[in-house]
Structure 1
């Protein structure tokens, strides 16, 4: 072969050598395209056709690289990223196809916030090059596959907000090169395990809102690069391990909504970069649930001073954490605190002067503690979006807070740019508040009120965010007159509200009323010493005014006619004054009116029929006046009216039929008014046919004789009974009766000396509508705060009702001997000539029945059910085994199930002891009982579901998910427990 022929042959073979790699890679390219098309076939919902471009094209081998959400390698054309991030309105639905595992060069698989369901397919473990796996915000179920620990290149794993159950894979935390793990908002159970190897790469660990149990592992200190640790919303118990102090890079720590106890370790102060510390939280991230998970952390002692003085700490959030001790007095200029919530604790001492060094503080809540002393003069109140020191014992004059320098009102400092820190702020609910609130109420302040200013920067923030301003000064001892222009900047806000109730402020109301505040929404100055005529007050221009409360003052003169022109008014409360004249006939112009209280004045004239034009009217109090004429029949058309009192007037005529009001107390004291009809009497249609007149007269005489005879006999028997009782019981009973005349409250438990009849009446505002928290068949219940921090619920019953007396006696016999934290406690009772009072401890969270009825139209949160189940078990165990004598609660179940339930209660009685030294561990329970705790836990859930069904059936409602599904779901939650 010649040289020329050899060259020709070589050139002819050259194209085949060039295309040989392409032919070799054509099969993987085809596999990638087919895998994507298989993924598309598993999608059952695509409302916006975002996968419309995913179509087969034979003319191009790499056509799939141009499909939406697909990214290919620039050289090999292999798929390296599948990212389907879309708006929620365009969310896809279906299952995750196992064909994704054929994308063997895939680095990123991100399909967040869709509606994919089912389990993660096992073949996905073949994606050995995967670096990012984001499946958050879907409906994936089952266990988290253990093969995720095999992804040696995986850096980010986000499976949050799904329905995963079972334990966290044992070697997941600390495996490979993982820098971020987010498993929050699932239904994971078991303990938190940290791998045996060092997890030096992990920087963010988020396990919030699951069912994780047992103590926080001390091995967490191996993750020494950790910046974010979120463990909130679980069932973790024990103490915060001191080893967390070894996490020198830690910025955010949230352990709220668990069952943690013991002291807060001072070693946390070694986390020199700590910015956010959340120990307890009463705000739920889901505003629709409103703190439904509850807070069960109860720490011991005080927060270590070293922790409070950390120069980097910006958020300290620990309301109702059972904290005691004092606040440090040595804050320096390096203080970075911006948000501090230590409300509802037991902190004592004074509010230290050093706190003024925290010049960037925008949120301070120290309410419901035991603080005394005076307020620091240079406290930056004008710069604070939220300032609350209510319900303490702080005294002295209220200083005039000036604006000492500029205000930094930003919630987050400029040097903080961490997304997780921002999220921590939002999780505390700070972003949802559209009010600037300064609350000084329920203290012991004296003297005249100063002018109140708001910082210029805060005003600018208000203009940007449409903030309203609420100034609360009630229940102090302020005196003197209100300064003119008390809040000079009141028109700079979206709205302005002021509460001056229960002080000793005096002066002419015409001078005190802030008529210049055009954006006034609420003016509350009840129970002060304001006087003068109210009639000449020009208020018609206050078009935003909704609440006007001037009860319990010394106002005189007629009602101002301009009042009826403020059509935004919903609450008009002017009772207990000296007002005269007539009720304006134009009061019907107040069509938004909900509550009208003009009681205990000297008003005359008719009740205007136009009043009933306010279709949403709920309460009308006109008692103890000098009104005359008829009660307007149009009151019968008000379907929302629940309270009407026209007693002790000069009314006449008939009593109209009221749809939601029973009883006669509301009409007594009107001698010209028709007798109140007995609600049990026969209606006119059912009355018997009249007899012959003569027969009727003869029968009337016989009846008269019989009645006279019976009356005489009754009188004689009563006299004999009194004599017998006198000699049988002696002066001891007479002493008791005399004490009742003195209105003495009989108490069962330790209670403050303020628990007497007069204080109860005063604390309830004379049983005012403002303190009404519920009504029932036997009476109404009111909230009362006898002393700061001591709340009670007062049930008021009428002696005129026989059933009410029976209910009263039954509750005294039963509740009088019950003492348990999950059961309502009867503190005391009072019996008078016309009323009876039952006084209970006040439960701010309501009761189980109301919770069920409010939640029955929504998805039932299993974390809520779990904690409710524990509380019910504790309460029932107490009733069955600890209360003397025992109170047996009947369960309508099969005998076998009842035995299991009783066995469960026995277990609960030993597993819910508060003392850690007495309460057995879970391992001890398992070893001592042949039946697995998981099955007992399942029985407990089954019992609670039956309870939910029974309660919801009262209102013909249904649980959103079927019971069978719920039981299976619950069982899957518990079978993995040790």
Structure 2
């Protein structure tokens, strides 16, 4: 009887599902009406020709993207309106407010006129408001300031006038204000300082006036402040030197007066443009960041000498001081000891000052452009007879602004041209590969550099990583535009997958995937490259027939849907009638079996040395996970410093909700880590898996990460002997993973932030979240040479062969460790502003200038030992995996170098210099703490420059 009741319940459920399924395929009538009104208002040329018959969501109207499921009213609703570059004109209709669930409004690059309707302020779900590149007039509606979820507002390149509404200070979720190139007037509201998340404030090329609000310095996350070509009064507020997150400050041609504020406290400032103002006084002796690429103080009233702080800036590209009243000499230390080449150049424009000479040497390196025309030094005869005088005193070199490209692999030897719509893929590893590219117009709106070639490699990695394609699939040309902005013409080629495969074109889903990454701002922002915008996405050749609009449903009619659903449900009902009894009988038995397996799994984790902690114990250890106990954060959650009841200090990785691993994966990770016991590996002490929580408990490493000790944050730097000892310890830990762990393990994410230092500065390898078991022998006893896996890791440390082939080997870890060795030797980051550490050290090594890149903070060192260490590091980073040494060979060579050291240096010191510069006994622990290093991230665009992992939600 019970089985019969279950059967009829299923029949009733099926009929209800059928009725809902048939009815739910329609768009809400109010939104259908609104879309028709919007078309009448915005589309006099009938570009939206399919906005007529059928249902907007079910029939896939151009640019109308709907939610995939119905809301509580059983209707579909519009989620996005993507109408960029469709030759639309007319005006924006107030009927937009009827699309009440809409999250993205994108009408970029059309010819829309009229004003922005205030009714847009009713779209409480709106995240992206993208109106740039039109002919909009009128003022900004105050109502926009009450959109609770707005992340990005782009109105640039219109004719919008009037003030910036004070209500915009209510946009507490906003990260991007792009309102440049309009006619906005009045002062900048100081209330904008209340915006907690704002990253980019672009207000250049308007008619803004009044004083610069000092309160803007209170914005905690502001990275770019770009206010060029406005009409402000007064000075640059001294408080702007407190914008600790700032990367770019651009106040060109703003009628500003007074002195230049001290910007020394801004740790990562990369771009300063204060040119064409009325600034006076001397240039402050600022301690500028090593990241600085551009300093433009030209066309002011500055006096005094060129400060020595402009020397020793490793990434400086432009120093413009022309048209001031500076005196004294130009210090040649500005360009000395710089690794310059055809892509890394330095331009110094000192024209029209009172400069009397060049101190420290008159030999001008090949890739330095110095102009002193209009200074006494070019007329008083002090440079007479010097071969560099024409370069010093001649006309300055004109900046190249025409279309440029980065050379790719040559295709000159390919025998024939490609069919129409296809091109030779210049970067493809397959010779003479004809493929159909996607053509994309792309622009960097506020880059943090002046010369692009030096940053090409970083950009290539950043963009291809964000698009999840290979680097050789990208080809580009570029040109600088007024702003300065960097326009790019991108070609993205398919990847050749082998003979007999049709891979010279992208399929439709891949075309839409790539397009949506651009249109939804799903490519993370980069600090050095700044905000970007999509100008066009052109489908030519074999792609012309592809409908580029996003699809939200199949477009099948209601009748067809009903027929399909009826047939499916009838089959399901009959099947369920026979299966119900069987399932009911098995249910209880299965439940008990699962419970038993779970108990057995947990019992198996009671391994010696690995404790199962309770949730309450974790709460007590961290003072209820108090924010003061936080020492790090990653994609999985947060890391806390905890103190157990027995006084043991630990690091607790706590997975955040939504990132919990499956039960099997979590137990497997604990079992794996519990088997690793080595002096140079961070120890797992225990775990917690209850109350819906997953936590791992590690020993706490009081001296932080190796990367910390190589940075400027430590007053005392590591000596060469200390660095060698750290390298040897790290190598021994990895050798244990490769050869002694059972089974062996490939770490897959070796980097300087995953090498930790304890209170005695003993190095320990950490973070096995990406690790993979090495391959085991097959039936015939043959051990495969690699593991095929998805590429994971961190840009700059990734083995190039692994990246291209997805074949992970022990030599992949060797490559990553080689990069760490180069960091130890030079102090450089793996990738910094387009400089790849492997390439830079190789260039210096081959040119006989290797000691020019050795970290000066290391102090004195035995040159022979350093040379051998460099040679070993570069061998580890060979592109050919067969040319790299094994971990055993690396350990042996490091031991040999250690034995070569003078006896006083090769022995462990009786005292260890801590990060505070104090001498402590090796038995003592440092009482200070640093950001916990148990935080790691997979490959991403935001890793390329800063290590920050931005959200990949639309921005």
Q: Given the two structures, how large is their TM-score scaled by the length of structure 1?
A: 0.35
Q: Which has the higher relative contact order, 1 or 2, with Cα contacts under 8 A spaced 6 or more apart?
A: 2
Q: Given the two structures, how large is their TM-score scaled by the length of structure 2?
A: 0.36
